[in-house]
Amino acid sequence: MTECKLCPHHCNIAEGKSGLCLARTNVSGNIVCTAYGRLTAAALDPIEKKPLYHFFPGSKIFSIGSYGCNMRCPFCQNYDISTNKDIDTEKVTPEQVVNIAISLIPRGNIGIAFTYNEMLTNYEFVVETSRLARDKNLKTVIVTNGMITEEYLKPLLPLTDAMNIDLKCFSESGYRKLGGDLQTVLETIRLGAASCHVEVTTLIVPGFSDDEETMRGISKFIAEINKDIPLHITRYFPHYKYDSPPTDISVMRRLATIASEKLTFVHLGNI
């Protein structure tokens, strides 16, 4: 058994097996990213789709994703790539990704976004691609659930220009239901905000994260770091294992009003 220290799960992985995230494998006693450079998706997206509303608004960014995730949200919007390591992929190198990003500059591209699945499980690829991107004056964006240990996050931050970090709820018990760790995510937000541009997203799931107490806790926490950190309050739609009706828009607006008591920028999404 070999321990993976990338995220707070600290998976002890048997030879030839993968950890919870599916992307990291024990190969001869070493933890190897077997998802390295294996892409399931690539597109030139509006920066607002990440969502980042206050980072080069109106621009586009070359967005790539792989497979795997170190959480197990039953309402996952991208479960087809986050829970399936046998999905079809295209193998690329960091150099190829950077070259494509450069070729898209005439179409408004400003850099590279690691998104769609939890790309930090593909940590080595993200670091190496980001380093090359920085050398070419490309911006780097990470869209993440924030489930990464400080040991791994700190070397990545100097290579990162912006992050959108999910804050799925504001209780340890809620995070345990999703296979996550609240304190790790909060620390990722703190460290990220001290180093680069950060925006936070909370998906409003009926019966899970749609109560006023949760929103008061989230907005207070963010405001204590910086009240100008944007918060995206996003509407849930049925997906994966959840079949509850979409979040009531009146609930969304009420929660946005609560968040606005503490925060300067609150945005409603998917409505």
- Tokens 């609560």 belong to 258
Q: What Å distances lie between residue 56 and 118, 161, 232, 259, CA to CA? A: 23, 11, 17, 24
pLDDT band at 155 (very low <50, low <70, confident <90, very high): very high
**Mean pLDDT within 210-237:** 98
94-103 helix and 123-135 helix, angle to the nearest 10 degrees: 50
Distance, CA of 187 to CA of 194 (rounded, Å) = 11
User: Hey, what domains does the chain have and what are their CATH numbers?
Assistant: 36-269 (3.20.20.70)
Q: Confirm if 46 and 104 have CB atoms less than 8 A apart.
A: no
Cβ partners under 8 Å of residue 28, min gap 6: 15
Predicted structure pTM score: 0.97
Structure tokens at 256: 């946005």
Hey, how many other C-beta atoms are within 10 angstroms of the C-beta on 106?
A: 7
pLDDT band at 127 (very low <50, low <70, confident <90, very high): very high
